[in-house]
Structure 1
Amino acid sequence: MEMYLISVIFASILIIPFAIKTLSPYLWLDILYLGHMLHIVVKCVSRRRRPCFFVLDRFLEQTAAHPDKLFIVFENENYSFTYTDKRSNKTANALQSHPNYKAGDTVALFMGNEPAFIFTWLAMAKLGSPVALLNHNIRTKSLLHCFNCCKAKVLIAASELKEAVEDVLPSLIEQGVTVLLMTKHSDTPGIEGFSDKVDEASDRPLPRSLRSHITFKSPAVYIYTSGTTGLPKAAVVNQNRLLTALPVLSSNGVMSSDVIYLYLPLCHTAGFIIGFIGSFETGSTIVLKRKFSASQFWNDCRKYRVTVVQYIGEVMRYLCSTPKRENDKDHEVKLAIGNGVRAEVWREFLNRFGNIRIREFYASTEGNVGFFNYVGKIGAVGRVNFFHRMLFPYTLVKYDTERDEPVRDTNGLCVESPKGETGLFVSKITDIAPFVGYAENEEQTERKRLHNVLMKGDLYFNSGDLMRIDKDNFIYFQDRVGDTFRWKGENVATNEVSDILTISDCIKEANVYGVQVPGHEGRIGMAAVTVKESAQFDGSRIYNHVVSYLPSYARPHFIRIQNAVEVTGTFKQIKGKLVEESFDPERIQDPLYILDNEEKSYILLTAQVYTAIISGNLKL
C-alpha cells in the first residue's frame, strides 16, 4: 500500500508540470513577468526617498561605480562614464555663467544623434532645467511652434542646423531668447557660438542645491508627438515617468556587459527613454549612430559586438529587404526591443538573422499604460494578466469608425468589446497611472481624456488605437482611429498637413489621408485637393511649399485634384472611398500627381510609374 501511495505521489509530481503546460502553457512566463513587475515596483518605491532620487542620480551612481567603463561609442570616438560626466559639467558651467540664463530655466535642444546631445541633456539635468527635445527635421513654422510650446528661455542647436535656426531667428530675438550654436564662432547677429565656452569651462561638479526645487511631478523633458489634429504637441514627461522607465532594459535581461545599438532619434521616446535613459540602470555601453542604415546595420553590430538593438517595424522590413549574405547569422545580437513589426516580417527576421529574442511592446509618449510581449508570441504587442490589469486598469470599448467616437449605451456609458473583437484601447487615469497631458495645450489634453467610460464620473485616457484581445489573452494592435496615420516610424496628423497645404497660393481645400503601399510599413501621405478659383495647380510651387513647412515623412507623396471635397452631413471630410481608391490611375479619373524630389516638383503620375511602385522597382 505504501509503495502504491508513493508511486501515485511520485507520478503526480511528474504529471502536474505537464498538465499545467497543457492547460495553461504560459503560466510560468506569467509568474516570471509578475516577479519582474513586483521587482520594478519595489525598486521604484525604494527610490522615493529624500532627497529625491532621479534618473540623473542613477547615472552618477554608475559613474562612481565604473568610472572608466565605456559609455558612448560614436563613429571613431569613445567616451567613458567619467568623460561624459565631466563634459556635461563643463557644458552646465558654461551655460550657468551666461548672463541670460538661470538654473531651472527651460532649454530647447535642437540636435540630431551625437554625443553633444547626451552631454547637453545631462548638463541641463544637473542644472535642474527641463529640456524640450526638438525634432531636428522640423523647420520654419513647425519649429517655432514647437519651441514656443515649452516657453524655453534658451535654444541650443547643432552647428549643422544653423540655417534652420536663422529662418526663425527674428521671432526668437523678439521673444528675448538666447540662441547658442554648438560651434566656436558665429558670424550671425543673435546667434552665439557655444562650444568654445564649453571647452574653456570648469569640469567641477554642480551643487545639488541647483535642483533642490525639483519634485517627482516636475517636467523633465518635453517630447513632441503628432496627434489627431494640429501641429505637434509637447507631451510633458515628468521626473516620475523617467524614473519608472529606468528598469525597462534591465527587466528584459539587459546587463552592464551588454552593448546597445542606438540609432533611433534621441528626440523621440524610444531612443531617449528606452535606449538612453534605460542604459543608466544597466550601465551598458551605447553605440550611438546618427541615423539608421540598413547596409551598415549588421556590420556595425559585428564591429562593436552589439548584443541589444532597438527597432521600429519599418526597420525590420528594411533589414529583411537587404540582399541575403552567408554571414547574416554571424553576430552577437541576442535581444531586439521595439514596436510595430508585422507578424510576417517578424518570422522572416528570425529565420534570416537567427534566434534573437524579440521583445515587442506597446506604449505612447503621453500614454499611461503599456504592454510587453514577454512571451514572444509573434504578432502580439503584449499579454493581458490579472495583476497588470489590477495595477493599471484598462479595457477595450466598441468604436464607431463612421462617427469617429466610442459607442455608448442608453446610460451614456461606453460598451466593452467582447474578447476577440476589435475595440478602442482606453486606460484609467489614476495616481499610479497619471496622464500629464500636453504643454500649453489644454484643448488637446482634454481631447485625450474620456469621461464616463464604465461608470459615471470615471476618467480614462483615450489612446486612439484599436486593439484586439484573443482567447489566449494576447493583445494585438489593429489600427489607429481619427486623423492620424504612421509613415517612416512617425505619426502624421492629417489636419496639420491640410492646414499647411491650404495656406499655399493655389489650394483651396485639402483632404489628407494615408494609403498603403505594397512592401512598405504604415501608410504614405496622400491629399485630395481643390484648386482656388482663377488659380492653377503649380507642382513646383507646391513642392517648395511643403518642403519648407513639413518634414519629409509628413509631405503628401500623392496629390489628387478634385472639383470638390466630399463631406458628411456634419461637414466631416470623407476619406473611406479615397483611401480605397488609393493612387491607382486606372481607378481615378481626376488629375493625379506624385512628389518627385529629383525634379523638385509634383509631376503627373503615369501608369508606368504606378506599376513600378506596385512591383517594388520604385521605392518611396
Structure 2
Amino acid sequence: MEFYVISTILASVFIIPYALKTFFPYLWVDVQYVGVLMRILFKYVANRRRTPPFFALERFLERRAALSEKPFIVFGDEIYTYGETDKESNKIANALLSQPGYKPGFTAALFMGNEPSFLFTWLALAKLGSPVALLNYNIRSKSLLHCFNCCKAKVLIAAAELKEAVEDVLPSLREQGVTVLLMAKTCDTPGIENFSEKVEEALDTPPSLSLRSHVTLKSPAVYIYTSGTTGLPKAALVDQNRLLSALAVISTYGMTSKDVVYVNLPLYHTAGFVVGFFGCIENGSTMVLKRKFSASQFWDDCRKYNVTVVQYIGEVMRYLCCTPKRDNDRDHKVRLAIGNGVRAEVWKEFLGRFGDVQILEFYASTEGNIGFLNYAGKIGAVGRVHFLHQMLFPFLLVKYDTEQDEPMRDADGLCIEASKGETGLLVSKITDIAPFVGYALNEDQTERKKLRNVLKKGDLYFNTGDLMRIDKNNFIYFQDRVGDTFRWKGENVATTEVSDILSMSNCLQEANVYGVQVPGHEGRVGMAAATVKKDAQFDGGKLYEHVVSYLPSYARPRFIRLQSAVEVTGTFKQMKVKLVEQGFDPELIQDPLYVIDDCVRSYVPLTSDIYSSILSGRIKL
C-alpha cells in the first residue's frame, strides 16, 4: 500500500507539470501576467492618491533627487546628468518667465528635432504648468500652421535649423499675436526672438511650485499628432492622467536603472517621447539620444555606448536586417527590444542574425484606450487575450464590411462579433478606467472614432480602425488598417500580407500595397509601389511566378509601380493616400509601370494602349 501511495505521489510530481505544459502551455505566463496587471493598477492608483498631486514631472524630480550625478542624456559626446538636466530646464523656465508674451499655463508648441534642448524645454514648460504641442519637424507651410493652430498655442519654440520653416508661416503667426522663440544666439528676422542668449543668462534655480498649482489630472500634458497618412494630422490630447497611467505601464516593460536605452525614434511621437524619454525617467535609466534612425550606424552606436535596450517601430527591424552582414553582428550588449509593428518573418530573421534579444512587442495608439502586451513572446503576435485584461478593458472584434467601410450590423442594428480565427475590427469600450479624450479642436474626428450600439443599444466603444485576428490559442494578431484592406473579386485583400509576399521575391526590396479603382470594375484592384533590391533587376516573369505561387488570384497585384524609395512617415508608416489618388495612368506617372499579363505569365510594361484597353473594358482584370 505504501509503495502504491509513494508511486502515485511521485507520478503526480512528474506527470502533472508535464500535463500542464502539454495542455496549458501558457498557464504560467498567464499567471505571471496577472501580477503584471496588478502592479500596473496598484502603481497607478497609488500615484493618483499622492498628496501633493503627483504627475509625470514629479517622477523626474524624484529621479533627480536620487540620481543627481547619474548620466541621464548622452548625445554624441555630450553627457547630461539628471541633476544637470534639471538645472538646464530651470534656466529655460526662468528665461520664459522673463519673456513678454508668455505666462505660466500658456500652451506652447515645440518645433525641434531630437536633441537635449527638446527634453530640457519640455521639462521647463511642465514646471510652468504649460501644455506642450510636439510638432513634427518635417512638416511645413499649411500642415505646420494647421498643427500649430490645433492646440491654440500662444508660443512657438523652434530649433535654429528650422528658422526657414518658421519664416514661411511667420506672417500668419504674427497676425495671431504668437510669440516666436528661436533656440539661437542671434536672429535678424523681425518677429522671431533669439532665445538661447536669454537661457544662458537665466538662473538655474527651480521656479515656484505655485506656477503649476492649477494643473489637475484632467489638464492637458502634451498634444501628440497622428502621422497624417490619411490627410492633415490630428492632435491627440494626452492629459496628465493618461501620462501617469503610461508611466505605470512602462514600469512593467523590464527596463531597470542599470539599462542604457537607445532612443533614435522621433521625440515628437509617442514611441520616442513616452516609451523612450519617460521610460528612462520611470526606471532611472540612461538615454542615448540620436538625431534620427540610421540602419548603418545602429549597431556601431549600440557598441560604442554599451546600449542594453533599443526601440523599434514599423519597418525599423526590417531595415536593420537589410544592412550588409558583418562578422560582429552579434557583438553587442542589447538584451531587450521594445516596440510594435515587427512582422513575423522579420522577427525570426532578426533573432537569427543578431542573437538572443528579447522582443517585447506591444499594441497601442496615442489616442486609443486599449493596448496589448505580447508577454508570452509569441512570434508575430501583438498580445494575448487574458480574462483579467478583458474584464478591466472590455474589447471585442466585430465583423467589418471593407466595401462599405463600416462595421456589419444585424437586424437589430447591433454589431456582429467576429469568430475565433476571423479578422474583425478591434473596438474597445469607453469607460472611466479606459477613457477616450479625443482630438484637440476636432469634434468631427473625435466623434468618428466613437462607435455606438455595439453589443446593446446606447453603449459606446472606441473604434481603433485596426483589423485584428484572435487564434485558437488566444493570441491576437494585427492584420491591417481599415482603409488599407480593400475588396476585389468579392474577397478582402490584406495589404500587409501581400506586401510581405512581394518582399520575399528575388527582385523586390520593399512594397507598399494598396487598391485603386478601375472604371467598370467593382471594388479596388491591387497595386504595389515597390523598390528593386540592390544589384538586382526587375524580372516580370519571375515576379509573376512568385505571386502565383503564394497568392490567390484575387490578391495578386495587377499593377506594379517601381520607385527609387517607398515614401514613409516619420515613424516609418507607408504613405498610401497620394498613391491611391494617382492610380495607374502612365501619362501622369513618371515611374516605370507594369501590368500583370496571364497570357505571357509575366508583368509587362503598362503602355498607353494597354491603359486605354483596360479603361474601355477590352482588357479584363
**Distance (Å, rounded) in 1 between the aligned partners of 2:114 and 2:595:** 35
Q: Which residue of 1 aligns with 2:174?
A: 173
AA of the residue aligned to 2:240: Q
What displacement does 1:304 show? Answer: 0.4
Query: 1:263–1:292: 8 Å Cα contact kept in structure 2?
Result: yes
Taking a change above 3 Å as real, the CA distance of residues 513 and 97 of structure 1, as seen in their structure-2 partners, is farther
**Distance (Å, rounded) in 1 between the aligned partners of 2:204 and 2:610:** 62
Query: 1:407–1:415: 8 Å Cα contact kept in structure 2?
Result: yes
Structure 1 position 322 matched with structure 2 position 341: no
What displacement does 1:553 show? Answer: 6.9
Q: Which residue of 2 aligns with 1:15?
A: 15
Taking a change above 3 Å as real, the CA distance of residues 402 and 329 of structure 1, as seen in their structure-2 partners, is same
What displacement does 1:560 show? Answer: 4.6
What displacement does 1:248 show? Answer: 3.8
Query: 2:347–2:380: 8 Å Cα contact kept in structure 1?
Result: yes
AA of the residue aligned to 2:80: Y
AA of the residue aligned to 1:8: T
AA of the residue aligned to 2:14: L
**Distance (Å, rounded) in 2 between the aligned partners of 1:305 and 1:512:** 48
Taking a change above 3 Å as real, the CA distance of residues 580 and 263 of structure 1, as seen in their structure-2 partners, is farther
**Distance (Å, rounded) in 2 between the aligned partners of 1:196 and 1:591:** 64
Matches within 5 A, 1:41-60: 41-48=41-48, 49-60=50-61
Deviation string, structure 1 residues 569-603 (Cα, Å, up to 9, x no partner): xxxxxxxxx9999xx763564899xxxxxxxxxxx
Taking a change above 3 Å as real, the CA distance of residues 6 and 235 of structure 1, as seen in their structure-2 partners, is same
Taking a change above 3 Å as real, the CA distance of residues 164 and 518 of structure 1, as seen in their structure-2 partners, is closer
Query: 2:314–2:573: 8 Å Cα contact kept in structure 1?
Result: no
Q: Which residue of 2 aligns with 1:474?
A: 475
Q: Which residue of 2 aligns with 1:213?
A: 214
AA of the residue aligned to 1:92: A
Identity %: 69
**Distance (Å, rounded) in 2 between the aligned partners of 1:385 and 1:307:** 29
**Distance (Å, rounded) in 2 between the aligned partners of 1:132 and 1:580:** 47
AA of the residue aligned to 1:410: A
SS in 2 for 1:251: coil
**Distance (Å, rounded) in 2 between the aligned partners of 1:553 and 1:411:** 38
AA of the residue aligned to 2:312: Y
Query: 1:114–1:290: 8 Å Cα contact kept in structure 2?
Result: yes
AA of the residue aligned to 1:342: R
**Distance (Å, rounded) in 1 between the aligned partners of 2:574 and 2:53:** 40
**Distance (Å, rounded) in 1 between the aligned partners of 2:453 and 2:596:** 34
AA of the residue aligned to 1:36: V
Structure 1 position 109 matched with structure 2 position 119: no
Query: 2:586–2:608: 8 Å Cα contact kept in structure 1?
Result: no
Structure 1 position 413 matched with structure 2 position 414: yes
Matches within 5 A, 1:25-174: 25-48=25-48, 49-174=50-175
What displacement does 1:392 show? Answer: 0.3
What displacement does 1:517 show? Answer: 2.8
Q: Which residue of 2 aligns with 1:517?
A: 530
Q: Which residue of 2 aligns with 1:403?
A: 404
Q: Which residue of 1 aligns with 2:541?
A: none
AA of the residue aligned to 1:306: V
Deviation string, structure 1 residues 308-334 (Cα, Å, up to 9, x no partner): 000023111111111111111010000
What displacement does 1:515 show? Answer: 3.5
SS in 1 for 2:139: coil
Deviation string, structure 1 residues 256-284 (Cα, Å, up to 9, x no partner): 00000000000001111101111111000
Query: 2:44–2:248: 8 Å Cα contact kept in structure 1?
Result: no
Taking a change above 3 Å as real, the CA distance of residues 43 and 429 of structure 1, as seen in their structure-2 partners, is same
What displacement does 1:2 show? Answer: 3.2
Matches within 5 A, 1:341-420: 341-420=342-421
Query: 1:228–1:483: 8 Å Cα contact kept in structure 2?
Result: no
Query: 2:307–2:333: 8 Å Cα contact kept in structure 1?
Result: yes
AA of the residue aligned to 1:51: P
Matches within 5 A, 1:450-469: 450-469=451-470
Structure 1 position 586 matched with structure 2 position 587: no
AA of the residue aligned to 1:4: Y
AA of the residue aligned to 1:339: N
What displacement does 1:52 show? Answer: 1.3
AA of the residue aligned to 1:43: K
Range with greater deviation from structure 2 (309-318 or 184-193): 309-318
Taking a change above 3 Å as real, the CA distance of residues 561 and 388 of structure 1, as seen in their structure-2 partners, is closer
What displacement does 1:286 show? Answer: 0.2
SS in 1 for 2:530: coil
Consecutive unaligned residues in structure 1, runs of 5 or more: 495-510, 521-545, 566-577, 593-620
Query: 1:395–1:416: 8 Å Cα contact kept in structure 2?
Result: yes
AA of the residue aligned to 1:259: V
Query: 1:561–1:591: 8 Å Cα contact kept in structure 2?
Result: no
TM-score with structure 2 length normalisation?
Answer: 0.81
Matches within 5 A, 1:462-611: 462-482=463-483, 515=528, 517=530, 554=575, 556=578, 559-560=582-583, 562=585, 586-587=605-606, 589=608
Cα RMSD over matched residues?
A: 2.9
Q: Which residue of 2 aligns with 1:499?
A: none
Q: Which residue of 1 aligns with 2:503?
A: none
What displacement does 1:149 show? Answer: 0.2
Taking a change above 3 Å as real, the CA distance of residues 315 and 228 of structure 1, as seen in their structure-2 partners, is closer
AA of the residue aligned to 2:253: N
**Distance (Å, rounded) in 1 between the aligned partners of 2:595 and 2:247:** 41
**Distance (Å, rounded) in 1 between the aligned partners of 2:403 and 2:51:** 52
Q: Which residue of 2 aligns with 1:526?
A: none
Taking a change above 3 Å as real, the CA distance of residues 362 and 561 of structure 1, as seen in their structure-2 partners, is closer
Query: 1:134–1:267: 8 Å Cα contact kept in structure 2?
Result: yes
What displacement does 1:5 show? Answer: 1.8
What displacement does 1:13 show? Answer: 2.5
**Distance (Å, rounded) in 1 between the aligned partners of 2:148 and 2:279:** 26
